[in-house]
């Protein structure tokens, strides 16, 4: 009797496992969603929604696309197009086409943000072109587009060329009146895809970009540059510096809503990975000259980024947070930040210390 019960239990477990496998094979776990806006057609203004989900039995991915008034309507239509039970609990990446991003993306973000099925850490990126084209692209260098996209976003964020941005953080910055959101900017190329820098937003509208070199300087300003390298070229000199640590501090002086001064102090230490030039990297005086050159270069790049933000009247660094902390509520509201960022005097000061120059002759 005892042996019979053991055999019966084993049989139930095997049958339950087979049943679960059948259920999983009938589910389409959506990994990537792309949103585009249609223009110059009879469906102008409508959404083009594209999804991609892996097929476990074939080790490939299937893509589906549809046109709808809203993302919710698109989900219903896409479900009708598939033999799978489409679910969104495993979505990993949201791609927004550039044209839609320019018009504003909060309607899509709000739908995702409010839906408890979506995970809050879904990665977000703006595509230079159509999100549909990138998701549906076939390239031998990226046979599994879903996984390649996810890996690219993670890798480039570690290298400080794009922000590590998810739906939760974007929404948090969107609601904060002291900062404007950002997102990774991705280009689709003949060879696949590549990280192209940072997409700067004004509220929920994409306005301009910073390239990958500017991105590293941008992350120095935000304090998110924890470790990485920076290339600097000055005449016949070429220097590759590896950061060990960096600190930044904002000092704010508000005399009136129209008279705001911000001092950005950045101090970082690092060592030279590679140097080509006439200076002797074993000589302390030459090292001091290199430090001054790097300081001047970073300050110039910071000023360029500040000018871009002032031109578009955006504050993607979060300077407004520090101003808000150093003034009263009435003065803060009268500023109408960041509309008045172009009137603010923002001055960077960079301090560089080279700890090591590597092996020298």
Higher pLDDT, 224 or 102: 102
Burial of 267 (C-beta count, 10 Å sphere; 0-12/13-18/19+): middle
Q: List the one residue out of 211, 103, 234 whose CA is nearest residue 160.
A: 211
234-285 pLDDT per residue, tens? 888 999 988 777 889 999 999 999 899 999 999 988 888 899 998 888 889 9
Last residue of a domain, one of 159, 181, 210: 210
Same domain for 224 and 186? no
- Residue 112: which H helix or E strand, with range? helix 106-114
pTM here is 0.88
Q: Look at residue 12 and tell me if it is in a domain.
A: no
Q: Look at residue 177 and tell me if it is in a domain.
A: yes
Same domain for 201 and 226? no
**Is 293 within 8 Å of 230 (Cβ atoms)?**
no
220-243 pLDDT per residue, tens? 899 888 677 888 888 889 999 887
Same domain for 181 and 237? no
Same domain for 197 and 229? no
Dig out the tokens for 97 from the structure.
């086409």
**What is the domain range of residue 352?**
220-361
Provide the pLDDT for residue 22.
45
- Answer yes or no: is pLDDT of 20 > 50: no
Same domain for 240 and 197? no
Q: List the one residue out of 266, 257, 199, 203 whose CA is nearest residue 230.
A: 266
Same domain for 206 and 228? no
Provide the pLDDT for residue 151.
86
326-343 pLDDT per residue, tens? 999 999 999 999 999 999
Mean pLDDT of the chain, nearest integer = 87
∠ CA 214-179-89, rounded to 5°: 90
Provide the pLDDT for residue 43.
81
Same domain for 249 and 112? no
Q: Please give the tally of structural domains in the chain.
A: 2
Last residue of a domain, one of 175, 210, 245: 210
Burial of 37 (C-beta count, 10 Å sphere; 0-12/13-18/19+): buried
Provide the pLDDT for residue 113.
85
């Amino acid at each position: 009797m005892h042996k019979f019960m053991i055999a019966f239990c084993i049989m139930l477990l095997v049958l339950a496992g087979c049943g679960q496998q059948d259920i999983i094979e009938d589910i389409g776990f959506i990994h990537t969603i792309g949103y585009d806006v249609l223009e110059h057609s009879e469906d102008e203004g409508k959404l083009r929604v594209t999804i991609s989900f892996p097929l476990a039995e074939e080790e490939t991915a299937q893509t589906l696309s549809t046109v709808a008034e809203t993302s919710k309507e698109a989900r219903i239509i896409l479900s009708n197009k598939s033999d799978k039970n489409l679910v969104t609990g495993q979505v990993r990446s949201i791609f927004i086409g550039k044209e839609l991003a320019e018009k504003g993306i909060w309607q899509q973000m709000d739908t995702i943000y409010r839906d408890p099925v979506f995970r809050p850490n879904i990665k977000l990126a703006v595509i230079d072109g159509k999100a549909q084209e990138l998701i549906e692209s076939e390239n031998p260098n990226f046979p599994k587009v879903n996984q390649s996209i996810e890996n690219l976003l993670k890798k480039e964020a570690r290298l400080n060329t794009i922000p590590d941005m998810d739906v939760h953080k974007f929404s948090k910055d969107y609601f904060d009146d002291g900062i404007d959101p950002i997102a990774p900017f991705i280009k689709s190329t003949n060879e696949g895809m590549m990280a192209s820098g940072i997409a700067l937003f004004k509220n929920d509208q994409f306005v301009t970009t910073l390239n990958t070199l500017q991105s590293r300087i941008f992350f120095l300003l935000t304090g998110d540059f924890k470790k990485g390298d920076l290339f600097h070229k000055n005449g016949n000199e070429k220097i590759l510096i590896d950061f060990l640590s960096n600190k930044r501090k904002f000092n704010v002086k508000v005399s009136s809503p129209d008279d705001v001064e911000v001092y950005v102090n950045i101090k970082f230490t690092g060592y030279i990975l590679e140097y080509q030039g006439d200076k002797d990297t074993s000589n302390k005086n030459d090292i001091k000259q290199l430090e001054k050159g790097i300081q001047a270069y970073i300050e110039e790049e910071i000023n360029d980024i500040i000018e871009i933000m002032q031109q578009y009247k955006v504050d993607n660094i979060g300077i407004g947070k520090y101003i808000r902390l150093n003034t009263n509520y009435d003065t803060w509201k009268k500023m109408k930040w960041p509309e008045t960022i172009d009137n603010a005097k923002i001055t960077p000061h960079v301090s560089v210390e080279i700890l090591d120059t590597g092996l020298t002759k």
